[in-house]
Every structure is written in structure tokens, then in C-alpha cells.
Chains A and B, each alone.
Chain A
Amino acid sequence: MAKKKKDSAPAAEEKPEKAKKEVTSENEEVKTNEKKSEKRAPQMVTVNGDKVTHGHIFKSNKSEDWFFTAKINGVPLKPQIVSNQDMDDFMTKKIEVPQLMEKYYPTKIMPKVNVDEFKLPQTIQTGEGEQQLVKFNVYKQTDIEAADFGKYRFYAQVGDKRMSCTASKEDLNAYFDLVQSPKAIIAKNFGDKLGLAEHYQQFQLPEGMNIEGKDIKFRKNPQTNRFEISIDKPGELTTSAKEVSYEDRQAYFQYKTATKDQLAAKYLNHELANMTLGNSNKQQQSVQKSMAIA
């Protein structure tokens, strides 16, 4: 939070009264208007109509880090560490305040949801049918034995189910800035526990790999007696088999809120991404070799 700093405040933001004193000619009114029109325009106006000003990068003399901060409607924002690349790009005007806002304060510029969506109780369509969202709140972990001690957590009660999890910075900001409703946060963080279709919609297999339903193997391992999912595309790609959780099996077999594709994406996308990366590295090495031979 920035303290008001008179000596660093932009000159253009001086009060019009001061400008008036500087005017001595007979065209006093015209010149006063000119001075008034010099007031700096916002660096950006968000979709919510909020005005962004004072966007700048600075270096703290407490550390080697560079920070970006700005004001929204005159309210100073919590400074965010910026990369050296962004700092260089900003100084050379390759990027400007709107791009930095988008990257470092995304939830400050997103459209806000209706405040009615924060009022409880509400109903949620779960895998087991319509249930009541009784409670949703954010709290700080105070158990010193917990791995996430000092971090914020989400708590939700839907029907008789009580759930909690560590909140990611993105979700916390989204909640705080009213750009994501409790329902949306629940779908993202507890969707599998409730068998919500919205939860599984976030998982998609990578485009371009042409993985079809017949390539996805979802079956019980006879040795372990557990359900596993894998992708086997003969001659092209084969992944390892990952055990599927009880909640995800319920969503697939019982509630029908998850598809085989979505479960494959949920469990195997990381491996598929690594494969893609490995292939592109191999191709790059092959090109380099052939260039060296030529």
C-alpha cells in the first residue's frame, strides 16, 4: 500500500487552485482551463469502469527485485514482483500498463460477477442431484503442524459434505475481487468430490494429437484390482496407466458427469505435454545434426 508521497506525485496531478495562481494574463479563464485539461488521463479503464493510474515499475532498495504497482480509482495495489524481461520491455515501451495489469493483476481488470451470486444459501446441481450450498468462506490455516500453515484455505459445505483445500493465489484473488463466484470456485476446487460436470469440463485432451475414444483405455488392473486409465495409440504414442480416484470413477460410471476423454486429460495431460516437448527437442536436435552435416 503506497503512502502518499508528495515529492514523487506527478506534476500534472497538482490541484487546479495552484494552477489558477500561476495565471496572470487577462486570458485567465482560458489558461486555467488549459491547465485543468493537463490532468493526466487514466492509463487504462477496465471493463468495470475502474480507472488505472500511477502504473509504474520500481526497485525496492530492500532487495534486488523489481516491482510493478498501480492505483485503481486512487486505491494503491499490492506491489507484484516483475520479471527482468517485463521491466526491460516496459522501460523500452514494448509493453505498457494495460499489458502489465493483465499479467500481474488479472482479477482487477476482469468483469465482476453479480454480488447476488455471493449470497447464501444457493443450490448446486451435483452428481447426486440438487443440493444446497450452505456455507463458503476463506480462512487462514492456523495449525502449525499443517503443511500449509499461514496460507489461506477455502471451506465449503454442500449438503452434508464439508470440504476444504488450500487456496491458490489466482483463486483467492478472483474471490477477493468478485470476479469468480463461490459456485465457480467450488466447481474448480471441489468439483470432483461433488461429481460436478463443470469440474470435468476444464479438462481437454491436447488438440493436434488426434486422440480418439478407442485410444483411451479405462479398465481394471487384474493385478491390483484398481481402475486405471491410459492412452494407447499403436505405433504413435503410449502413456503409463494412472489410477483413477473413487470420486472420478463415480462421476464417470454413476453420475455420468465426466467423459472418458476428460478423465484421460485430467490424468494424462501432463505426460502428453512432456511427450510433445520431448518430440520437439528431438526434432530440433535432428535439424541441428543435419545442418552440421551439410
Chain B
Amino acid sequence: MATEEYEVPLAKLHAKEITYTEFLKEVNCYKQFKNWCNAHSVKEDEGAAQCFFDHYGFEESNMVKEFIMDPVS
């Protein structure tokens, strides 16, 4: 999973300017999505892309960056 900036693609997704599939391509996660589809024997369609998006928690990316505490190892 790449860790690029998600804010702009997320905003585009919320504004329905791009689809979930396009979002995954834009954040360089399409290959992982494709691998996931292959492993699960499902088609690479928009429904599967949304499922992948929801499960990986892209929506929560803003929350994680707002650390109050430093990471504890």
C-alpha cells in the first residue's frame, strides 16, 4: 500500500469527480486491488473497488495523521 497524499483524491471521490476504481489508480493502489481480486476470484469492478476502499480504511487516513502521542514501539 502506497502512503501518498490521499486528501486530494479523497476530495475528488467525495465530489463524485472520480470513481472508486479511479481513486485506487490515483493513489497507486490499483495493483494491490487487482491482486486482491485475483486472490478472491472476483471481477475488478466498481463494487469490488468500493469494498477494497472501505476495508482498507482510506477514509480514516486523516484521523491517523493527527497524532497526539508519538508512536509507541
Residues of A within 8 A of B (CB): 1-5, 8-10, 40, 43, 54-62, 67, 69, 74-79, 90-91, 115, 118-120, 137-140, 152, 172-173, 175-176, 178
Residue pair B64, A1 in contact (C-beta under 8 Å) = yes
Residue pair B39, A118 in contact (C-beta under 8 Å) = yes
Q: Which of A5, A62, A119 is in CB contact (< 8 Å) with B67?
A: A5
Q: Which of B3, B63, B71 is in CB contact (< 8 Å) with A56?
A: B71
Decide if the interface of chain A is mainly helix, strand, loop or mixed: mixed
Residue pair B47, A139 in contact (C-beta under 8 Å) = yes
CA distance A139 to B50 in the complex (A): 9
CA distance A90 to B72 in the complex (A): 10
**B47 contact set on A, CB distance < 8 A:** 139-140
Q: Which of B34-73 contact A (CB under 8 A)?
A: 39-42, 47, 50-51, 54-58, 60-61, 63-73
Q: How far is the CB of B48 from chain A (nearest CB, A)?
A: 8
CB-defined A-B contacts under 8 Å, sample of 12: A1-B1, A1-B64, A5-B65, A8-B71, A67-B63, A76-B57, A78-B60, A91-B72, A137-B42, A138-B51, A139-B47, A176-B51
* Residues 9-30 of chain B, each 1 if its beta carbon lies under 8 Å from chain A, else 0: 0000000000000000000000
Residue pair B58, A58 in contact (C-beta under 8 Å) = no
Residue pair B3, A4 in contact (C-beta under 8 Å) = yes
CA distance A3 to B58 in the complex (A): 10
Q: Using a Cβ cutoff of 8 Å, how many contacts connect chains A and B?
A: 100
Q: With A2-B3, A62-B66 known to touch, is A79 a contact of B73 (CB < 8 Å)? A: no
Q: With A3-B6, A140-B51 known to touch, is A56 a contact of B41 (CB < 8 Å)? A: no
**A74 contact set on B, CB distance < 8 A:** 1
Q: State the 9 A-B residue pairs at the shortest beta-carbon distance, nearest first.
A: A78-B57, A75-B1, A1-B61, A2-B64, A4-B3, A56-B71, A56-B72, A118-B41, A3-B65
Residue pair A120, B41 in contact (C-beta under 8 Å) = yes
Chain A residue at minimal CB-CB distance from B5: A3
CA distance A178 to B42 in the complex (A): 13
**A56 contact set on B, CB distance < 8 A:** 69-73
Residue pair A79, B60 in contact (C-beta under 8 Å) = yes
Residue pair A8, B3 in contact (C-beta under 8 Å) = no
CA distance A40 to B68 in the complex (A): 22
**B69 contact set on A, CB distance < 8 A:** 56-59
Residue pair A78, B55 in contact (C-beta under 8 Å) = yes
Q: How far is the CB of B21 from chain A (nearest CB, A)?
A: 15
CA distance A175 to B68 in the complex (A): 33
CA distance A176 to B51 in the complex (A): 9
